[in-house]
Amino acid sequence: MVQNDAGRDCVVDGRLDDHPEKALTDPVALRKQLVALRVPRLHRFALPLAGDWAMIIAAFALARWINHPGAYILCTLFIGTRQHALGVLGHDGAHRLGTPRLWLNNALTQLFIFWPLGTTMSGYKGFHFPHHRFLNTEQDTEMAYRNLGAPEWDVPRTRNGIAWRFFKDLAGLGAFEALRLMVSMRAEKLRHYLGPWLTIAILSGMAIATGNAWIPIMWFAAFFSSFVAVWRLRCWVEHLGTDDTHRISMPPVMAFMVAPHNAWMHWEHHEWPAIPFWNLPRARKLETTTPVLSIWELFRYYGQCPVIKTGQATLDKAGKSLIVGA
């Protein structure tokens, strides 16, 4: 791997560039660098996908091997974080960033991500793509989703308040949030649910028929507890309290549990949505003018940021900030 004196790795036409600093000042060079980062790679998508499923299966096996209520609870909570990790990969799949072949990208994303989670790719696209197009405006679909849970997304909010909501979600008190999320991601056509319903019915039926009803019980318990908890916490660090996207850094362990697969580089994703998750760190090194906040600095900011009610747009249609007192 070639690095310049600053330790930055860059790619041009699929190769590492010896002079990435040129891209930081030359718009043409920067565009070439960014275009080179857009190429999907099957193994870069499939291996993390297999890894998430391997951890889920291992958690099921560990709970059964220990066979203690505490083990079942802890493993269930861990499984929810990996369900969320699958969802993050599904986000890349929806953007067609999983593999160069569209049919394979869609097959992997639906069969191993969206369907086991009980949702559809079409529903997710209908929820997510308008979010990109109308970010932070009244037409942003995330605003409509948050409105369903008002006033849970009001700011300012102290770190203790955010932490308390997180632990309530872990305890299963955020189950309605999962339902609101599923409603927000509903597919337009009923036939689109055939895949998710059959997947869940067949796998659950097989587990019950073999005397392993505990498996679907853990799966759904994880979804309505820790999945919701990490989903909500990740949403907190993306767009709340701003008319843009927060650019943050996060400790590796926290990133693994809460914002896996570089989901914490959400600013970079909104800047360059055609770049796969595994290349976002390289994209970050090509843009050094926008400041990066630590996750702890962001949480401190939430305690003193301007008042913004749940679902309140922070940009008008002309792109002007609507935040009062910012």
For the chain, the structural domain boundaries read 46-257+295-302
Given a cut of 50, is residue 15 above it in pLDDT?
Answer: no
Q: Determine the pLDDT at residue 24.
A: 59
Q: Determine the pLDDT at residue 326.
A: 57
Given a cut of 50, is residue 160 above it in pLDDT?
Answer: yes
Each residue's pLDDT tens digit, 209-222 = 999 999 999 999 99
Q: Return mean pLDDT, the chain.
A: 92
SS (H, E, C) the chain: CCCCCCCCCCEECCEECCCHHHHHCCHHHHHHHHHHCCCCCHHHHHHHHHHHHHHHHHHHHHHHHHCCHHHHHHHHHHHHHHHHHHHHHHHHHHCCCCCCCHHHHHHHHHHHHHCCCCCCHHHHHHHHHHHHHCCCCCCCHHHHHHHCCCCCCCECCCHHHHHHHHHHHHHHHCHHHHHHHHHHCCCCCHHHHHHHHHHHHHHHHHHHHCCCCHHHHHHHHHHHHHHHHHHHHHHHCCCCCCCCCCCEECCHHHHHHHCCCCCCCHHHHHHCCCCCHHHHHHHHHCCCCCCCEEHHHHHHHHCCCCCECCCCCCECCCCCECCCCC
- Per-residue pLDDT band at 249 (split at 50, 70, 90): very high
Q: Determine the pLDDT at residue 57.
A: 98
Q: Determine the pLDDT at residue 18.
A: 41
Q: Determine the pLDDT at residue 208.
A: 97
Q: Determine the pLDDT at residue 28.
A: 84
Q: Determine the pLDDT at residue 25.
A: 65
Q: Determine the pLDDT at residue 26.
A: 75
Q: What is the mean pLDDT of residues 77-93?
A: 98
Each residue's pLDDT tens digit, 252-293 = 999 999 999 999 999 999 999 999 999 999 999 999 899 999
- Residues of the chain with pLDDT > 70, as a percent, come to 92
- Per-residue pLDDT band at 227 (split at 50, 70, 90): very high
Q: What is the mean pLDDT of residues 80-98?
A: 98
